[in-house]
Structure 1
């Protein structure tokens, strides 16, 4: 009897699995054209930039004394940025003289990382607070959500100009503070001006992603915590934070990657010069291209791509930024769940 039941269960399972395989084939057939288009649109520029990074720029040939185009350069473009290695007109390789873009590379890297760390940390705190306020049930919740998202909806160029007027010597910021701070010329004041503008602009984006995670938490969990007598702080640290962590890490991932390629805000607010106190590595790429050095600019773009890829890999692999939308199940828990399901199936077959 049990053998017959098992056979019928196996046939039903086979009937259920056959349509799933057919559906999977249809899904792959529908997705493949889009993947091909993405591979061409995204993959070709990346491969082209990598290929150009190994070609030399137009330069003076020390043997003939005339300018020559291109040619295989190996790792020279990468060493130009990383080690500040330049070739003199006589053919001698040495340290780059002051004024060459390569001398601004490491200061730009430090400034970019400084902007990334400070802005993301501030946006985590402020975004969490704003998300908790927007998630709290109230009559004006819809109005609060709409008002909070206004800074994020404003174009970055408009935001930069707005804050540039506010940080002017006779602007509203100095008037409110009663000070005469040179926000656009003093190095540290200019950096904090960019940080303030960036936090004002992008905190609503962080709050929106965190709010999506908060709305996924069941109300039953909070009701059980209130019944058990948990305080507000205990509820926040032991229920809200652990359950909203996947959405929070995704928000941190997106903002970190966006901050690493910051360009327009410091350029419009402060200066587009490569030796500006707020110059980022993206500014060096644009400045190098304006000078006609497309191959060395491609090498710097490749370095930025590797930096962003490394940060994304570390955050997804080790810090729990699950971009798939669900927290990864521990391997032991998954094994126990599979064994439990197998035992239930065997019990049902008997």
Structure 2
């Protein structure tokens, strides 16, 4: 028989904790520096770019014959001109190149990165050296990597010397696209491999031992155990890589060069417009790229990440104990 004091203690322990009045103010005060930094480095540039995209730089002569330059408000005229104007073909080509590079490179990186993770997860002599060597491409700056691969793919470079063919890899056409894909995959596949390896490290070894006792070979263990358990880490890695690849600029710019239609991306197109002092059109390209990246990220999370979010919600929901 419990006493009244014990019943009150249990009732107090089960009672949900209420938020004090000052807790919200303290949380807002502690988070205010972060919000201020985000407002300065994210919100203000974004709003400024959107405002700039509504203007167009024009020049002309006044009544006295002097040259007058300035920005003229055109509303959505820059966006309309991008989709239907004289440069619409260049925009759609850059949009296709951006999408093609993104899905091609990320797909190859997933295959190679998972293979790297499986190799690095095995216990063998020299595993630490292998992990360190795989990190080297990821540690090299992208501009340096572009110059390195430009030397490899030049007309008298290593690739043509080994294959015995004469291909202008750094000119135009599919050869230039293949050069960019190879250089991008070589540099960023270790990123996916390391994140997948981190997910594989937390898988208990008893699961594999039980699968071996059931007669599962290495392939069945990989399909039935490894991939499902590393799926959250793999999806995060793929999402990060997709967001990064959609903003690809420096590698094709350094490796192939600007104003090359076969490798021109939306970021390069925005840079080229700003380099010609067309800041309104460049800002419009940047806003379109931002919306495109947001749509791809939302679709990726909605389609492939929904089950993970639901699983986390189910694990976070406490189970009700059955009562008689």
TM-score (norm 1): 0.83
Please report how far the alpha carbon of residue 171 of structure 1 lies from its aligned counterpart in structure 2 after TM superposition: 0.6
Give a deviation string over 1:93-137, Cα, whole Å, max 9, x none: xxx2xxxx5441111111111111110110000000001111111
The 5 A counterparts of 1:234-273 are 234-273=220-259
User: Which residue of structure 1 aligns with residue 80 of structure 2?
Assistant: 79
Please report how far the alpha carbon of residue 317 of structure 1 lies from its aligned counterpart in structure 2 after TM superposition: 2.5
User: Which residue of structure 1 aligns with residue 299 of structure 2?
Assistant: 314
C-alpha distance in 2 between matches for 1:110 and 1:62: 42
C-alpha distance in 2 between matches for 1:62 and 1:230: 83
- For 1:300, what is the secondary structure of its paired residue? helix
CA shift in 2, pair 1:136/1:29, >3 Å: farther
Please report how far the alpha carbon of residue 203 of structure 1 lies from its aligned counterpart in structure 2 after TM superposition: 0.6
User: Which residue of structure 2 aligns with residue 39 of structure 1?
Assistant: 39
CA shift in 2, pair 1:205/1:24, >3 Å: farther
From 130, 133, 138, give the equivalent of 2:119: 133
Please report how far the alpha carbon of residue 139 of structure 1 lies from its aligned counterpart in structure 2 after TM superposition: 2.5
C-alpha distance in 1 between matches for 2:22 and 2:14: 15
C-alpha distance in 2 between matches for 1:181 and 1:165: 13
User: Which residue of structure 1 aligns with residue 309 of structure 2?
Assistant: 328
From 284, 305, 324, give the equivalent of 2:290: 305
- In the comparison of the two structures, how many residue pairs are matched? 322
CA RMSD of aligned residues (A): 2.9
Please report how far the alpha carbon of residue 181 of structure 1 lies from its aligned counterpart in structure 2 after TM superposition: 1.1
C-alpha distance in 2 between matches for 1:215 and 1:332: 24
Q: Are 1:210 and 2:162 counterparts?
A: no
Give a deviation string over 1:35-61, Cα, whole Å, max 9, x none: 222122211100111111112222559
Please report how far the alpha carbon of residue 80 of structure 1 lies from its aligned counterpart in structure 2 after TM superposition: 1.3
- For 1:70, what is the secondary structure of its paired residue? strand
8 Å contact kept, 1:120–1:256: yes
CA shift in 2, pair 1:116/1:292, >3 Å: same
CA shift in 2, pair 1:140/1:51, >3 Å: same
User: Which residue of structure 2 aligns with residue 222 of structure 1?
Assistant: 208
- For 1:211, what is the secondary structure of its paired residue? helix
The 5 A counterparts of 1:156-171 are 156-171=142-157
C-alpha distance in 2 between matches for 1:61 and 1:54: 23
8 Å contact kept, 2:195–2:233: yes
User: Which residue of structure 1 aligns with residue 278 of structure 2?
Assistant: 293
The 5 A counterparts of 1:169-208 are 169-208=155-194
8 Å contact kept, 2:94–2:261: no
CA shift in 2, pair 1:124/1:321, >3 Å: farther
From 97, 113, 118, give the equivalent of 2:99: 113
C-alpha distance in 2 between matches for 1:243 and 1:64: 75
C-alpha distance in 1 between matches for 2:312 and 2:112: 34
8 Å contact kept, 1:249–1:321: no
C-alpha distance in 1 between matches for 2:124 and 2:252: 38
8 Å contact kept, 1:315–1:321: no
TM-score (norm 2): 0.90
CA shift in 2, pair 1:3/1:195, >3 Å: farther
User: Structure 2: any 5+ residue segments left out of the alignment?
Assistant: none
CA shift in 2, pair 1:24/1:127, >3 Å: farther
CA shift in 2, pair 1:330/1:155, >3 Å: closer
- For 1:301, what is the secondary structure of its paired residue? helix
C-alpha distance in 2 between matches for 1:283 and 1:77: 17
C-alpha distance in 2 between matches for 1:2 and 1:24: 38
